[in-house]
Amino acid sequence: MAESVQELSLSSENLPNNYIHDHGGIGFRDALLPSESNIHIPVVDILNLTSPSTSQQELRKLHSALSSWGFFQVINHGMTSLFLDKVREVSKQFFQLPKEEKLKCAREPNGLEGYGNDVKFSEKQRLDWTDRVYLKVHPEHQRNFNAWPQKPNDFRSTVLQYSENLRQLNEVILRAMAKSLNLEEDCFLKECGDRDSMFIRFNYYPPCPIPDHVLGLKPHADGSSITFLLQDKEVEGLQVLKDNQWFKVPIIPDALVINVGDQIEIMSNGIFQSPVHRVVINAERERLTVAMFCIPDSEKEIKPVEKLVNESRPILYRPVKDYVGIYFQYYQQGKRPIEASKI
């Protein structure tokens, strides 16, 4: 593995050029807080969503969140604050291990899973200021435990429990999203197929001496159906682009952030937006987040749901298969992968 960002952050007088954005310095970090501009990233309460007397109102909120931001936060999702802290804790403990221990689960040169950082494919590319662990957690028979951290001891059991919880929550959210569009409740679940998968990514962003010129994660939209993000409890950094303006996603310690990925944008015929987002860093504190990407069956054709195509809303996307495969090709060329599907 190339030098970790964690190591770079310790000996940071001369940062390699390929981390530096020349156009930085114009305030990566002074994005607006949505509340400052009087608009809010909605917070959806799962209890309200599932209780008959409040569900209609909550579904309207969800619909509005997904069509304007593509982002929302959920509370009352069933996981305790103690458990979420545990997920954060085992993740942090892994990145604190000595280098030799972390390298035991290093990503293979052409592999996908394991511990590593940004894959370098060209000299022109700007690299992300982050080290990661990327793992397939679903389906069960495709878990490759060789790529999983062996330490801390409770890493595996905690991540398995967290994945199981998010699998159930994914179903709740996809059903609610379909209902909010007056579709059959299981519409998106069916479109994702029985052979869907889930990948978890632990994002570790060390402090950086020149945070106005370096990004934790470049602007991108996710290739998932939807993505769940457990934010750092204290250090912010996630920003979302809306109407050409960057907004900070505020920290709500026990909430999960959820965003639409490109594949739901396609299925919803563009009603739900897969938002462009990025991560900024800071000079003082590390930040750690845990993203879970839900991915539809790669053999299934993803296309706009028929009921969402009509005269006033013509079809906007052509069918695509193996979107995640296309995603990496486009991303590497600096293009938005969803362009591959736009008519």
Ligand X SMILES: O=C(O)CCC(=O)C(=O)O
Binding positions for ligand X, rule: CB under 6 A: 201, 203, 217, 222, 229, 237-238, 277, 279, 289, 291
Q: Which two tokens stand for residue 17?
A: 């050029």
91 binds, among Fe ion, ligand X, none (CB under 5 to 8 A by kind): none
Of all residues in the chain, what percent are helix, strand and coil, respectively (each to 5)?
A: 35, 20, 45
CB 173 within 8 A of CB 44: no
203 binds, among Fe ion, ligand X, none (CB under 5 to 8 A by kind): ligand X
Nearer to Fe ion, 58 or 231 (CB): 231
Strand ranges inside the chain, DSSP E: 43-45, 71-75, 114-117, 131-138, 197-205, 215-220, 226-230, 238-242, 245-248, 256-260, 277-280, 287-295
Q: What's the rounded Cα separation, in Å, for the pair 170 and 166?
A: 6
Candidate segments 34-42, 86-94, 217-225, 324-332, binder of Fe ion by CB under 5 A:
217-225
92 binds, among ligand X, Fe ion, none (CB under 5 to 8 A by kind): none
Tell which positions 219-258 bind Fe ion, by CB under 5 A: 222
Q: What's the rounded Cα separation, in Å, for the pair 145 and 136?
A: 9
- Helix then strand count (H, E) for the chain reads 9, 12
Nearer to ligand X, 279 or 305 (CB): 279
Tell the residue number behind the tokens 């879970």, with chain if given.
Answer: 292
Nearer to ligand X, 237 or 296 (CB): 237
Nearer to ligand X, 180 or 263 (CB): 263
CB 309 within 8 A of CB 343: no
Nearer to ligand X, 226 or 238 (CB): 238
Residue 219 C-beta: closest distance to Fe ion, Å = 10
Residue 141 C-beta: closest distance to ligand X, Å = 25
279 binds, among Fe ion, ligand X, none (CB under 5 to 8 A by kind): ligand X
CB 202 within 8 A of CB 132: yes
CB 307 within 8 A of CB 183: yes
Number of residues that bind Fe ion (CB under 5 A): 1
104 binds, among ligand X, Fe ion, none (CB under 5 to 8 A by kind): none
Residue 128, interface with Fe ion (CB under 5 A)?
Answer: no
Candidate segments 119-127, 194-202, 215-223, 263-271, binder of Fe ion by CB under 5 A:
215-223
Nearer to ligand X, 178 or 288 (CB): 288
Reduced to 3 states (helix: H, G, I; strand: E, B; else coil), residue 301 is coil
Q: Which residues bind Fe ion (CB under 5 A)?
A: 222
